[in-house]
Amino acid sequence: MLVFDHVSKRYPNGYDALSDVSFTVEAGAFVFLTGPSGAGKSTLLKMINGVERSSRGQVHVAGQNISRLPARKIPGLRQGIGVVFQNHQLLFDRRVYDNVALPLFIAGMKPAEIGRRVRAALSKVGLTGREGDWPETLSGGEQQRVGIARAVVHR
């Protein structure tokens, strides 16, 4: 579960990126964050991932108040968060399989389990049988779906 409780972010230059933001996202939900340039989307995502800290309010991810979480615990928190970037963030020197499997390799999962999860994630996004393809051979929409598969593969 993700909870923002009266969260504000003011940068040192005085710019208010977020002001008194409150919302809850239930565990397992898919959320799309949209808005105009400068609306605070990137700041909000950085706060969820522990890259930025709130100026006021509390951010809770998976029951942990990350506003007070020690820096050494942030990498473990990030393993449970899937983010799909606008520019895909794919590794073009790796095939589709390796791109989707990356968070599982980092987590130290066994190869058989990685294979099962990668195939299931690719199936969910309609890319069954594309594991061996190179990202540059895919359309933009297919590349985006590889990013989505990577974001949900750990579930």
**Which among 64, 44, 131, 63 has a CA at the least distance from the CA of 150?**
131
Give the whole-number percent of the chain exceeding pLDDT 70: 94
Rounded to two decimals, the pTM is: 0.57
The gap between the terminal CA atoms of the chain, to the nearest Å, is 14
Spans of all domains in the chain: 2-78, 96-152
What is the rounded average pLDDT of the residues 46-69?
Answer: 88
Q: Quick one: 2-78 is in which CATH superfamily? A: P-loop containing nucleotide triphosphate hydrolases (3.40.50.300)
pLDDT, position 21: 97
- Asked whether 135 and 99 are in contact (CB, 8 A), the reply is yes
Average pLDDT over residues 3-31: 92
